[in-house]
Amino acid sequence: MFSHSDIWLAIDYLAERHGYSTSGLARKAGLDPTAFNKSKRISPEGKPRWPSTESLAKILGITGSTMSEFTIIIQGLNNEIGARQRGPSIPVIGYAQAGDDGFFDDAGYPVGAGWDEVTLPNFHPHEQPTYALEISGDSMLPLYREGDIIVVSPASDLRRGDRVVLKTIGGEVMAKELIRSTNTRIELKSLNPEHPNRVFLPRDVAWIARIIWVSQ
């Protein structure tokens, strides 16, 4: 029996091996370019979404692969996968989902059943509790583009100049640069110059966590 994460990891690998992004592979196969986005792998209700047999058949046809080869990839018997240095699996959700209720506790740690998992090559958390967000939209250009994965550590100390993710009590989520944090105010600089800087009272902030790694 293959798990939800096994299937999606194999699709990611198949795309990479043939020189595509996951969206590029979907487009080449005549599918919606967002069909394989990580943010689409969990439904709004928090249930796993599985790729259809039709979409699998189309990407296997485009890459010239067979179902048997796809199964070998899933099982980890393929030598190319075995040779890759893979980091630990960590929880991941889409950036847009992060503002919804039920995904974080009061300290900004992942909770609930709506999280998927992602394995990041060459990332080693050094025992820090971490999770990942998949970027959507353009509010964090030019540093972070749509589809980038950022790794966040709620346990890391914050310093001026750190890039952080902040969630407000009202459910707004943003990634910005920390200008200063005091007992009376938290000042943030926008990564995209087209978006304004922000200032918050501590009582209006649900949590703030440091971005420690980005996969681009």
10-residue block means of pLDDT along the chain (216 residues)?
A: 79 87 89 86 80 91 88 65 57 86 86 82 67 84 84 91 94 92 95 91 95 82
Based on the structure, what is the number of domains in the chain? 2
Asked if 102 and 154 sit in the same domain, the reply is: yes
Global pTM value: 0.59
Asked if 67 and 96 sit in the same domain, the reply is: no
Which residue segment(s) compose the domain that 147 sits in? 90-215
- Residue 124: the pLDDT is 64
Asked if 206 and 119 sit in the same domain, the reply is: yes
DSSP H stretches of helix in the chain: 4-17, 22-28, 53-63, 67-75, 79-83
CATH number at 47 reads 1.10.260.40
Last residue of a domain, one of 50, 83, 116: 83
Asked if 59 and 148 sit in the same domain, the reply is: no
Helix (H, G, I), strand (E, B), or coil: what is residue 119? Answer: strand
